[in-house]
Amino acid sequence: MSLQAGIVGLPNVGKSTLFNAVSSSAKAQASNYRFCTIEPNVGLVDVPDERLQKLAELVHPDRIVPTQIEIVDIAGLVRGASKGEGLGNKFLGNIREVDAIIHVIRCFEDENILREEGAINPVSDKEIIDTELQLKDLESVEKKLQRTEKMAKADPKMKAELEVLLRCKTHLEQGKSIRSLDLSKEERNAIADLFLLTEKPVLYVANVDEASMHTGNKYSEALVASVTGENAEVIIMNNSIEAQIAEMENKEDQQMFMEEYGMTEPALNRLIRMAYHLLNLNTYFTAGVQEVRAWTIGKGWKAPQAAGVIHTDFEKGFIKAEVISYEDYITYGSEAACRDAGKLRIEGKEYIVKDGDVMHFRFNV
């Protein structure tokens, strides 16, 4: 699965610094001027998962392969983007292509870093981007409304879709994002073709100064309060510190550096895990002497779908799945011991794969 989380925010809030820290395959230019990022930078990011390491300690494979997500660094947004200001439509088009949003917000003071919006105000910064995305969504909804109103006169089945669009229009006009609108699965399907920007799940990154990286500050507190009821997550971190940790190739140097700042792990690890779950993803594992590997699937996927992530032939020719829960595998120490203890299950096509399952597929093509 190739799912993307896009990093967005106003200019000079620390987006590219965060991308540089988080990406394992690309480095974005981080500079102190507007629109430093024009074309989106894309990086593949390993998802930290201690379960993978613990399985490897038992199996002793030739290699360990973590699962990954794509992180996209998108150009800084400015007020009026929905009307074409700055990079306008290009920026909004890039957001439309991602599956989730990582919204970086400045929660620190530094007179050496340019800021065009006046005094530091994370709530106002958040609202600037929210407003631009909402205005663009409102434009999309109104266009579809015009078509649907005509169709609903001749086709009663279109009335339900018309009602959903009218609810979305009212919600957006009130300055609210679609993700906070209580829509059923069927209702969301009715607007799926619009790829609405404010329907995407959001993780807010409060980029704080060094002194606030563990406790937060008045700015991050204001941000947290402002997203209540929005069904969004907030993580507090110092992007500059994270970038320094990521640049260290020596693990011992990393550990010593983190200890100086009272850290047990990079905040990036938490961010990546949060982004992964924000995308509504689960992980299952395969474990053998050649490799121990993590595989990404959607929550609620059935066994044949999960098998298809390895190879399409596995899904087409699916027969059965051998399944061991991660907890049982760790408790008994090997596949053979789990089998002997009756902890290896044989599951069929209707089995819904659980996060952490260790699996082996039987198939025939």
Residue 163, number of CB atoms within 10 A of its CB: 14
Whole-model pTM? Answer: 0.82
Residue 179, number of CB atoms within 10 A of its CB: 17
**Residue 219, pLDDT above cutoff 90:** yes
Spell out the alpha helix ranges (H) of 174-266: 185-190, 218-226, 239-247, 251-260
Residue 16 in marked binding region = yes
Please give the structure tokens belonging to residue 263. Answer: 């850290």
DSSP letter string, 63-90: EEE--EEEEEEPPPP-TTGGGT-TTHHH
What pLDDT, on the 0 to 100 scale, is given for residue 71? 86
Look at 12-21, 35-44, 195-204, 242-251 and tell me which has the smallest mean pLDDT: 35-44
Please give the structure tokens belonging to residue 59. Answer: 């199996």
What pLDDT, on the 0 to 100 scale, is given for residue 69? 85
Residue range 163-176: average pLDDT? 94
Nearest to 245 by CA among 263, 222, 224: 263
Q: How confident is the model at residue 119 (pLDDT cuts 50, 70, 90)?
A: confident
What pLDDT, on the 0 to 100 scale, is given for residue 49? 93
Residue range 139-150: average pLDDT? 90
What are the two backbone dihedrals, phi and then psi, of residue 187, each rounded to the nearest 5 degrees?
Answer: -70, -40
Q: Which residue has the higher pLDDT, 336 or 232?
A: 336
324: left (phi over 0), alpha (psi -120 to 50) or beta: beta
Q: Which residue has the higher pLDDT, 80 or 297?
A: 297
Residue 13 in marked binding region = yes
d(CA 12, CA 35): 9
Residue 17 in marked binding region = yes
Tens of pLDDT, residues 317-351: 999 999 999 999 999 999 999 999 999 999 999 99
Please give the structure tokens belonging to residue 299. Answer: 């929550």
What pLDDT, on the 0 to 100 scale, is given for residue 229? 76
What are the two backbone dihedrals, phi and then psi, of residue 201, each rounded to the nearest 5 degrees?
Answer: -65, 150
Q: CA neighbours within 13 Å on the CB side: how many for 307?
A: 27
Q: 281: exposed, middle or buried (C-beta count within 10 Å: 0-12, 13-18, 19+)?
A: buried
Inter-CA distances, 252 with 47, 214, 240, 245, 259, Å: 21, 22, 19, 11, 11
- Which domains can be identified in the chain, with CATH numbers? 4-50+64-116+201-278 (3.40.50.300), 129-198 (1.10.150.300), 300-363 (3.10.20.30)
Contact of 284 with 297, CB cutoff 8 Å: yes
Residues 6+ apart with CB under 8 A from 175: 130, 131, 134
Residue 293, number of CB atoms within 10 A of its CB: 20
Residue 341, number of CB atoms within 10 A of its CB: 12
What pLDDT, on the 0 to 100 scale, is given for residue 75? 64
Residue 14 in marked binding region = yes
For 171, the 3-state DSSP assignment is helix
d(CA 266, CA 248): 12
Whose tokens are 């320094």? That residue is: 244
Contact of 226 with 130, CB cutoff 8 Å: no
d(CA 226, CA 56): 42
Residue 215 in marked binding region = no
The alpha carbon of 133 is separated from its chain's Cα centroid by a whole number of angstroms, namely 18
